[in-house]
Amino acid sequence: MGLFDRKNKAEENPEEEKKPQFEKVEFPILTVVVEDVLSMTSTEVSVIGNVRGGTLHEGDKLFLLGRRGKTKQTSALRLEDTLMTKMPEAAEGTNVSIVLEGLRAGEVEKYDVLSSVNCQGAEESKPDTMVNPFLKGMLREFQRFVEDRDYMGRIMEYIANDAILITPCMHAPINAEGQAPKIGFAMIKGKDNQMYLAAFTDTYELELANVPEKIIQAVDFEKAKTIVDKSNAGGLLINPASDKFLLRTQLLAGLEDHKEKIKNHIREQKLDTSKPLMMAIPKEGHEPQELFDALKEYFKTETRVLRAWYGMMVFPQEDKKAHLIIVDTLEEKPEIFGGIGNAAKDHLGDMQLNMQALQKVGNKAVEKMLLFYERTDAIESIK
């Protein structure tokens, strides 16, 4: 009878067995940034990196964390030093080769992070407190890779899109007029005497900073930037007691602009104007006329666009081609490029559309491109 009772209760409450299982986080968390990936066999992969935050032992459970929420559970099947000698453990600061259990080379990429705890958004082995193990791992090593655009780009991408940081705050007392109390956020003065919003990847980092405010507010990128803007702060300082990762207001604005472009399905092709562009210009009678007509129709309503050029970018090594539109605008706003993308999307064929502002690439970049749109009245008015 008791057995049937347990079965019936499970059937009545199926959600009970689906509740996430939380795992206790031990600080400081251990991280290893993957600096190189070595395929041992078709079913075995080894990675190289530096151990941070503790000692890694053979057999330790790990989580492989990456971009766009990638999370895979694994373990340190074998540890080896730089001479390929097997070792039972790797202490803090040790450069080590780690053979990962159950993963293949295609599942691991350079600048993934191995961590002793899973990410906050994981469905299984969910940490019981606020942590950002991927970001923390990347920040620990950023001074070594500060000139590496791919590495720094991943940090920025994560902060802008995925990170939930914590910042201490306090309520101001209710004034005599009975107005609702305002929330004040913790600011830290930099060496330049500018005030910066203090934010932390986890409570351990918060305790290291010894900030007196005790109320904790979780903030994403948008919330953090709003606080910075409204308080006239110089930027955002992440983990001020350890990593000291600073994003000044100009960089925050750039990240916000980049996010808006992604939202509007915009991609800007990075052009090196110091080198000849591999550009093809369609012969007369072979222009993408439908694309031109669609864009000209849009430009009738977007009066900030003064001129537009067209070229076909050729990538011989990849055997690919892409449309390139460079526009001269009165102001560079994401919604302008978003409108161009929406107007063009049904006329691209199987080629990608890349867009760029003339102000960024200069007049030299368009010398051999096809000018297909020009607002004569606007050009004359600004001469």
pLDDT in tens, 287-342: 999 999 999 999 999 989 999 999 998 877 667 788 999 999 988 887 888 889 88
Q: Name the superfamily (CATH) of residues 22-148.
A: Translation factors (2.40.30.10)
Q: Which residues of 256-281 are buried (b: 16+ CB within 10 A; e: fewer)?
A: bebbebeebebeebebeeeeebebee
Delimit the CATH 2.40.30.10 region(s) of the chain.
Answer: 22-148
* H or E element that contains 332: none
Residues of the chain with CATH 3.40.1350: 164-172+183-263
CATH number assigned to the domain covering 164-172+183-263:
3.40.1350
Cα(163)–Cα(135) distance, rounded to whole angstroms? 8
Rounded CA gap, 245 and 135, in Å? Answer: 11
Contact between 100 and 46 under an 8 Å Cβ cutoff? The reply is yes
Q: How confident is the model at residue 3 (pLDDT cuts 50, 70, 90)?
A: very low
Q: Domain 279-381 is in which class?
A: alpha beta
Mean pLDDT of 191-214: 89
Across 180-188, average pLDDT: 75
In the prediction, which pLDDT does 329 show? 92
Q: What's the pLDDT score for residue 255?
A: 86
Q: Is the peptide bond before 28 cis (omega within 30 degrees of 0)?
A: yes
Q: What is the DSSP letter of 351?
A: S
139 HSE (CA, 13 A, CB side): 28
| 147-156 contact pairs (CB < 8 A, 24+) | 150/111, 151/111, 154/67, 154/111, 155/245, 156/251, 156/255
